[in-house]
Amino acid sequence: MSTVYDFTVKDRQGKDVSLSEYQGKVLLIVNTATGCGFTPHYEPLEAMYKEFRDRGFEILDFPCNQFANQAPGDGDEIHAFCTMKFGTEFPQFAKIDVNGDRADPLFAYLASEKPFNGFGKGLKNAALNGFAAMNNKKYGAKTYIGWNFTKFLVDREGHVVARFEPTVDMGEVKNAVAAAL
């Protein structure tokens, strides 16, 4: 597979959605959780979506419960939380696994295009690195994503152009999205 457009995912109701429906748009694909220290990322994500969606920008939200069980609800509960607390309007898809034998093929592809290179420097990042390593060791070679709110930037041709770990400042993510637009 050569672009994200080759993948089909499930929407919140379990229906197939071909990512080719997003052809020609800049995408930010994110694995999310409702009970994570990074959950407040929903706020700048929604602000970015409102600012850029008229220019051909979409955020694709994939809830995942593989990181310390921080997304325990079902799809409807997660969606209700996100819309009520953060006013999210961007598409939210079915809850998935991003690591291990049941990892969604889209996330295995994204991670193969832009592999994990650590959470960065600093005490907070080092602590997350250790915690994630313990959490993710059960996935071995099929650990594709380090933690919740990993973001992949996809250009208008469907190529993965950047990966942002949850520790990356959201201003940097926004600047990259603006440049891709």
Name the residues annotated as catalytic. Answer: 36
Cα-based torsion angle of the residue sequence 161, 166, 169, 170 in order, rounded to the nearest 10 degrees: 70
Q: Give the Cα separation of 9 and 44 in Å (integer).
A: 25
Q: Give the Cα separation of 132 and 170 in Å (integer).
A: 20
Q: Give the Cα separation of 10 and 67 in Å (integer).
A: 21
Tokens of 131: 């915690």
For residue 19, the SS3 value is helix
